Structure formats: structure tokens, C-alpha cells
Amino acid sequence: MAERVVVGLSGGVDSAVAALLLKQQGYDVIGVFMNNWQETDENGICPAVDDWADVRSVCELIDIPYYSVSFAQEYMGNVFQHFLSEYRAGRTPNPDVLCNREIKFKAFLELAMQLDADRMATGHFVRTDSAGRLLKGADPAKEQSYFLYMVHSSQLKKALFPVGHLTKAQVRAIAEENHLPVSRKKDSTGVCFIGERNFKQFLSGYLPAQPGEMVAPNGEVVGHHDGLMYYTLGQRRGLGIGGRGDGRSWFVIGKDLKGNRLLVAQGEDHPALYSIEAECSDLTWVTEAPVPEGVPFECTCKYRYRQTDTPVTAMWQGDRLYLKAQHPQRAVTPGQSAVLYQGEVCLGGGIIESTT
């Protein structure tokens, strides 16, 4: 009897090809579309409607049963409320990592088991091994282990990643060869399950904006901001400070929450944009800690998605992670994730709290 696999289908090409490959490999495949955000965008459009139509078309073409399920309550309580609280605290969160932990590899995995599945599967560009270790995907441009570092090996052992060994070009080629209707559909971006939005307009619908001053290092007021939540460390675009200073671009270098002031400075090489050390909270290991508590070890780190791995010395204590980079790192941002690697293996990571 064939192993049953429940595939999370987003309406995109990656998950569609994942389902197709599993079917070709002889698995008993069931497709499930997660409709966890049902509000329309600023144009009155609900992207989930089109995505669900694409899921149905793909499943009918490759001849697998399919369902739509809503984890909207879990998403709102366990992901989106945290997302809002982080912005309210002046930080820049990464909701995708929490979404993977709370929705895709918790609520969805539980659903797969209720459907008597042996495994679940997604279209993530990652790989795993028999020990349940999380490995980088084969395509450096699409590799997604950064977003899955909060997923434990016990969950990964129940998951399949059929496209993790492929490049994006190969995925699209497979889709076209098999006439999948989503073969040329563009990649989705934006917040997990919410999609592409006018972010400023979207966020203002949930958090009241508090405009304030933009202040240079010498204390001079050089402009006004629309609300601290709309800005992130290292940001250059959208500041609207033209015509002041020495002609160089202005960058966000920090936030004064108490005074509701946005701190800005000129020059992408300004010292306030760089740090060597970082302290992280909410430490998570994919398998187990590589060294005992309190013992420093060498590894590499990504402080944001798509960043080149950078050598660091790491040390953990309880749920705290302490990092020291070999070279100054630009715009290491509180609220984002610092994810650790040894070669191709993703060890785990934590949420950046502070830098020096």
C-alpha cells in the first residue's frame, strides 16, 4: 500500500510541482489549500480566490483529491497578533518563521495526521536527512532554510520537500513539461498568507500611527516620520529628507520609542549602522545544541534572508543566544531572526533583541 502524503498547496508553482513529483513517485497524494486570511486587499481583491482556483486546476490535472481548510483563528492568534505587537514595540518582525512553526508544521501537520497520512509535504526549497537535520536547498537563490529554523527535527522527520534538490528553473521546466496551469505564475511575496499589499496602508488599519520627528546625530530635526512602525534599521527609501546635509543619502540608524523620534544619519557607512555583537531571545535548535551551554563555538550566521553566511562565534545560555561576528555587520535588526549554520546544516537560531 502506497504511503499517503498530504501536500500543502499554495496555488503557486513550487507546491504544484511538489505534488506532481510525489504522484509520479507512487505516493497516495492529497492536496490541501490553506485559506488563512480572507480579507480583501486595498483594491477589493481577495487573492485566495484565485489561488484556490489554481489549486483545483492543478489537482484535477494530476488527478489527486483536494480540500480547502482554514486555520484563520490559529493564524490570527499565534502569528498575526505577535506580528502586530512587534511593530507596536518598534521592532521589525519576520512573520514567516512563526507561520511555519505555528501553522504549516503544527496545525497543518496535525491535520495531515488526522487524514491518516504518513507524511506531509510542502514546496519549500530545503532538504532534510534521515536524522531529521535541516539542510539548505540546492538553489542558492531560492534556498529557504532561514524560514524553517524554528521547526524541530521531530516535525521534519514527518515532512517531505520534493523540490529541495532542484533549482527554480528546473521546477518551472517540470511544470511546463507537464502542462501545469501555474507554470508561469509569478512567485508570491509579502507577508505569509496575506500576500502583497500596500504595507503602509495595511498596517495603519491595525495600528494607530503616531507621527514624529526625524533627528540627526547632532540633535537637529531634519524631517518628520509618519509612524515609527513604518521604518526599519538601514532604510534609505521613503524618508523624504532631500536637500539637507552634505548631499549623501540618509539612512535610519535607530528609534527612540520614548520620544517617538526616528534617528537618521547620512552615509551608508555610518558607524551606527554597524555592529559586531548581537543578543538573541527565543533560541530554537532544529535537533540539539551542538555544544554544551556556555561553551563558545564557531559557525556561520544569516542575520536576514538572502544574506551571505557570515562567520561568527556563538554561545548559548538558556533561551538566549550571543553572537560575535568577525567583521562589522550592517543593519542587524531587532525583531528579525539570526539563523546559524555549519556548512549545509541549519542548526537553529533566535530573535535579535539588541546589538553592540
Domain boundary, last residue among 174, 199, 224: 199
Query: How many domains is the chain built from?
Result: 3
Q: Are strands 159-160 and 119-121 parallel, antiparallel or unpaired?
A: parallel
pLDDT at residue 6 tops 80: yes
What single-letter DSSP state applies at residue 168?
Answer: H
**pTM, two decimal places:** 0.93
The residue range of the domain holding 342 is: 275-355
- Look at residue 67 and tell me if it is in a domain: yes
One domain, residues 162 and 302: no
**What positions carry a catalytic annotation?**
99, 192
**264: which residues sit within 8 A by CB, 6+ positions away?**
214, 215, 216, 222, 223, 239, 241, 250, 251, 252, 253
The domain spanning residue 312 has which CATH number?
2.40.30.10
Write out pLDDT tens, residues 301-345: 999 998 999 999 999 999 999 999 999 999 999 999 999 999 999
> Which carries the bigger pLDDT value, residue 263 or residue 205?
263
- Torsion over CA of 203, 308, 236 and 263, rounded to 10 degrees? 80
One domain, residues 128 and 175: yes
Domain boundary, last residue among 149, 173, 199: 199
One domain, residues 116 and 36: yes
Q: What percent of the chain has pLDDT over 90?
A: 84
pLDDT at residue 42 tops 70: no
pLDDT of residue 1: 80
Give the DSSP H/E element, type plus range, for residue 170: helix 168-177
One domain, residues 14 and 140: yes
One domain, residues 261 and 280: no
One domain, residues 289 and 338: yes
Domain boundary, last residue among 268, 298, 318: 268
Tell me how long the chain is.
356
Q: Distance between CA atoms of 321 and 332, rounded to whole angstroms?
A: 14
One domain, residues 83 and 120: yes
pLDDT at residue 45 tops 60: no
pLDDT of residue 38: 66
Q: Distance between CA atoms of 279 and 298, rounded to whole angstroms?
A: 16
The 3-state DSSP composition of the chain as helix, strand, coil percent (nearest 5) reads 25, 30, 45
Q: Which residue has the cell 542587524?
A: 332
Write out pLDDT tens, residues 207-249: 988 999 999 999 999 999 999 999 999 999 999 987 777 889 9
149-163, 180-194, 281-295: segment of lowest average pLDDT: 180-194
pLDDT of residue 209: 87
The domain spanning residue 250 has which CATH number?
2.30.30.280
pLDDT at residue 5 tops 80: yes
One domain, residues 251 and 312: no
At 201 the three-state DSSP class reads helix
pLDDT at residue 169 tops 90: yes
Average pLDDT estimate for 151-168: 97
pLDDT at residue 43 tops 60: no
Mean pLDDT of the chain: 93
pLDDT of residue 329: 97
- Look at residue 204 and tell me if it is in a domain: no
The domain spanning residue 37 has which CATH number?
3.40.50.620
